[in-house]
Amino acid sequence: MTDFHLIATDGAARAGILQTAHGEIATPVFMPVGTAATVKGMTPDAVRATGAQVVLANTYHLMLRPGAERVASLGGLHRMMDWPAPILTDSGGFQIMSLSGLRKLDADGVTFRSHLDGSSHRLTPERSMQIQHLLDATITMALDECTKFPASEAEAEASMRLSMRWAAASRAAFRERSGYKLFGIVQGSIYPDLRRISTEALLAIGFDGYAIGGLAVGEGQAVMFEVLDASVPLLPADRPRYLMGVGTPDDLIGAVSRGVDMFDCVIPTRAGRTGRAFTSSGVLNLRNAIHAGDDGPLDAQCDCPACTRHPRGYLHHLFRAREMLGPMLLTWHNLRYYRNLMTGLREAILQGRLRAHVEALRAGWTRSAASSGM
């Protein structure tokens, strides 16, 4: 019996509820990224105030510092972070891919050198499951190799088959607990046949949810959507679907429209730290001088502190003066914007008016573009 319940559909788009050991997750949902067990620039209360239902933490970084056993001794991520709600931890596969010359793959796992101090480490599916158990992850991800891009079809197939071997080992090593989930990850780069083979392999193993990995790595939005068009219909309707590492608001809209339920990405927090704000009229660069004397709100449609308590000109000043409050306020705003975006998409699906809602969103992004400082 699944803990994921579909409530409504609108075309391929879905609205649902995922029941977990740490509470419900209403989908579609965006998960703020807390790489080192913290969302940068945000207190846990601030993250809660954005409306976030679930956050993501990073297995690779936490295994290196402070260490999974240390996290467990401090009560696990939920207690340590003051985040009793759901937490998803990735498997470490993406970060290991990015190590390039510092890693060595074999059939049973990967040996790599830490980017922090060069120390040698071994990560296998069994160890990844153990680490995520020690972290007390609500949703654990199977260990995979995130296929590089570009990759030939032969390279992508070898990478995908290794990930499927690791997926089976991850499933066998995962410690079942009520309300805790294990997700498998579909790989296969941009090749539809490989994505189909990967999906069939994962379905044969059996997982609580299915992620689509290996995208948003340089292939471009059009190709990403083509891969989703070929991949998402193969996934079971009674399991959540998670597109990893994506993305911009337009990426999210396109993927939700294709039937994806869950997302994470560093874009809104990273943009907030660098002065870029996602708003109902498009992306604004708060460092631009055009905002210096603006006494209006950052976004009149947003209810976050940056928009309700400060004029836009003050936010510009904070970034020009390099005050840490600027990145904090803009990170809060961007996470609230993403939360409002997903809430709006969910409500539109429930009401059967997704297409009109998306058209209105996109029309708003082009409004006043000439004076936005984009």
Q: Do 260 and 290 fall within a single domain?
A: no
Q: Do 11 and 31 fall within a single domain?
A: yes
In a domain, 238, yes or no: yes
Instruction: Determine how β-strand 282-285 pairs with β-strand 276-279.
Output: antiparallel
pTM score of the predicted model:
0.96
Alpha carbons 68 and 134: distance in angstroms, whole number: 6
Last residue of a domain, one of 219, 243, 264: 264
Q: Which of 3, 10, 90, 144 is catalytic?
A: 90
Q: Do 53 and 199 fall within a single domain?
A: yes
Q: Do 253 and 296 fall within a single domain?
A: no
- Of the ranges 252-261, 317-326, 351-360, 362-371, which one carries the lowest mean pLDDT score? 362-371
In a domain, 371, yes or no: no
Q: What is the pLDDT of residue 127?
A: 96
Last residue of a domain, one of 212, 238, 264: 264
Q: How much helix, strand and coil, in percent to the nearest 5, is found in the chain?
A: 45, 20, 35
Alpha carbons 252 and 362: distance in angstroms, whole number: 12
Q: Do 258 and 285 fall within a single domain?
A: no
pLDDT confidence band for 93 (50 / 70 / 90): confident
Q: Which of 144, 261, 264, 299 is catalytic?
A: 264
Q: Do 259 and 276 fall within a single domain?
A: no
Domain count for the chain, please give it: 2
Q: What is the CATH number of the domain that holds 235?
A: 3.20.20.105
**Structure tokens given for 84:** 């009793």
Give the list of residues 6+ apart from residue 360 with CB closer than 8 angstroms, or none. Answer: none
Three-state DSSP state, 143: coil
**Do 15 and 8 contact (CB within 8 A), yes or no?**
yes
Q: What angle do CA 52, 72, 269 make, to 5 degrees?
A: 30
Q: Do 166 and 310 fall within a single domain?
A: no
Q: Do 176 and 91 fall within a single domain?
A: yes
Per-residue pLDDT for 87 more than 60?
Answer: yes
Q: Do 62 and 169 fall within a single domain?
A: yes
The chain-wide mean pLDDT, for the chain, equals: 95
Last residue of a domain, one of 243, 264, 285: 264
In a domain, 372, yes or no: no
Domain that holds residue 333: 271-366
pLDDT in tens, 235-277: 999 999 999 999 999 999 999 999 999 999 999 999 999 999 9
Cα diameter, the chain: 60
**Do 187 and 160 contact (CB within 8 A), yes or no?**
yes
Catalytic, 108? Answer no
Alpha carbons 320 and 133: distance in angstroms, whole number: 44
pLDDT in tens, 178-220: 999 999 999 999 999 999 999 999 999 999 999 999 999 999 9
Q: What angle do CA 93, 106, 37 make, to 5 degrees?
A: 25
pLDDT confidence band for 2 (50 / 70 / 90): confident
pLDDT confidence band for 1 (50 / 70 / 90): low
Q: Do 212 and 112 fall within a single domain?
A: yes
- Beta bridge partner(s), residue 285: 276
Catalytic, 90? Answer yes
pLDDT confidence band for 92 (50 / 70 / 90): confident
Three-state DSSP state, 175: coil
Three-state DSSP state, 269: helix
Q: Do 141 and 68 fall within a single domain?
A: yes
